[in-house]
């Protein structure tokens, strides 16, 4: 998947429209639209900010790695195990 498709996929999966996502990133709606339509690429600094916002790696956004990592820091071992069970359950469906 390409950068523009990954940004759109992450945004829509988070339930954000372009306007709301733009506000969270500190850019205009037009800027988000340009990223998603593959007219302009985000700067390196913005790419890192987008990755941090969605809690994914920059490699994932760039389409270099399809693995998705979840930040479970701050969760107890029991909570982490619970999340793992949910993920495994969803992966088998």
Residue 93 has pLDDT above 90, yes or no: no
What distance in Å separates the CA atoms of residue 1 and residue 15, rounded to the nearest whole number? 20
Residue 1 has pLDDT above 70, yes or no: no
Which sign does the torsion angle of CA 63, 68, 69, 75 carry? Answer: positive
Question: What's the pLDDT score for residue 33?
Answer: 97
Q: Each residue of 29-51: pLDDT tens digit?
A: 999 999 999 999 999 999 999 99
Question: What's the pLDDT score for residue 88?
Answer: 85
Q: Which residues of 1-12 are buried (b: 16+ CB within 10 A; e: fewer)?
A: eebbebbbebbe
């Amino acid at each position: 998947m390409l950068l523009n498709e990954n940004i759109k996929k992450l945004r829509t999966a988070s339930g954000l429209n372009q306007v709301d996502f733009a506000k969270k990133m500190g850019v205009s709606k037009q800027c988000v639209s340009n990223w998603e339509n593959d007219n302009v690429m985000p700067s390196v600094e913005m790419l890192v900010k987008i990755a941090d916002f969605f809690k994914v790696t920059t490699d994932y956004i760039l389409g270099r790695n399809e693995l998705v990592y979840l930040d479970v820091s701050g969760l107890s071992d029991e909570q982490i195990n619970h999340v793992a069970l949910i993920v495994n359950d969803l992966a088998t469906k």
